[in-house]
Amino acid sequence: MNDIDISDSENVYTAGRAGHIRSFVLRQGRVSNAQQRYYTEMMARIGIPYANAPLDFDAVFGRSAPRILEIGFGMGETSATIAEANPHQDYIGVEVHTPGVGSLCKLIAEKSLANLRIVQHDAVEVLRDMIPEGCLDGVHIFFPDPWPKARHHKRRLIQSPLVATLARRLKPGGYLHCATDWENYAEQMLAVLADEPSLQNTASGFAPRPDYRPLTKFEQRGLRLGHGVWDVIFRRR
């Protein structure tokens, strides 16, 4: 593949028009030389281009294993840590932010991870068009953009229509795990997931952080400053 200039906010992996309110704003981020190099080299190998066609997970990973989808992996540290600790599970990370994709590409190469693939595209469209119903064992949505201003709440990811779509993509018994450090968004998550009839809370209210979700540096700092973090974990009935 020809070199892709990843300092462009739109490229072959991200191109496309939304017919819905987007939960992100594509911003120009500083792209390091390493991110550029790993992006070009690794996305050709482990990148899954967006397509309006169902994804064949077994073909992608060359095996049949539990499948976890992560929406908005940011710089990918948590995704790489989880995939490394769980080699018996397969992970697909979805992210739009190009420097973050470059950063996770670097981690995948450095850790030689064979169980993590990347789709660089709007997760709303990936879910709608690429993820078949009843095929996921889990979904991770960690610290989604909080959109704190009331007039921006419509951009928040965790809203009823998306949660209904997510629930249908889960296998019976599959889990949806959201985490946030915004109390008001945490309450919204709890309310919206509780309202989805096909989902059941695994806890009474907020859940304790499971061991598989590592504490990020940002989170550790927040906790030291007395800020809260809330995990919400539901299972499909």
| 24 forms part of the interface with ligand SAM (CB under 6 A) | yes
Dist. CA 196–CA 161, nearest whole Å:
10
Site for ligand SAM in 33-62 (CB under 6 A): none
Q: Is 218 annotated as a binding residue?
A: yes
Nearest Cα to Cα of residue 111 among 63, 210, 40, 42: 42
Q: What residues numbered 205-234 form the site for ligand SAM, per CB under 6 A?
A: 216
Structural contact between residues 75 and 100, judged by C-beta atoms closer than 8 angstroms: yes
The minimum distance between CB 204 and ligand SAM, in angstroms, equals 25
Count Cβ atoms below 10 Å from residue 211 Cβ, excluding itself: 7
With b meaning 16 or more CB within 10 Å and e meaning fewer, what string describes 87-119? Answer: eebbbbbbbbbbbbbbbbbbbbbeeebebbbbb
3 state DSSP class of 172: strand
Q: Which stretch binds ligand SAM (CB under 6 A): 7-15, 30-38, 48-56, 142-150?
A: 142-150
Tell me: is residue 110 an annotated ligand-binding position: no
Site string for ligand SAM, 84-103 (x = CB under 6 A): ----------xxxx--x---
Site residues for ligand SAM, window 62-81 (CB under 6 A)? 71-74, 78
Kindly state the tokens that stand for 113: 């991870």
Can you tell me which of 41, 84, 145, 181 binds ligand SAM, judged by CB under 6 A? 145
From 42, 89, 117, 122, residue interacting with ligand SAM (rule: CB under 6 A): 122
Q: Residue ranges for the binding site for substrate? A: 149, 181, 216-219
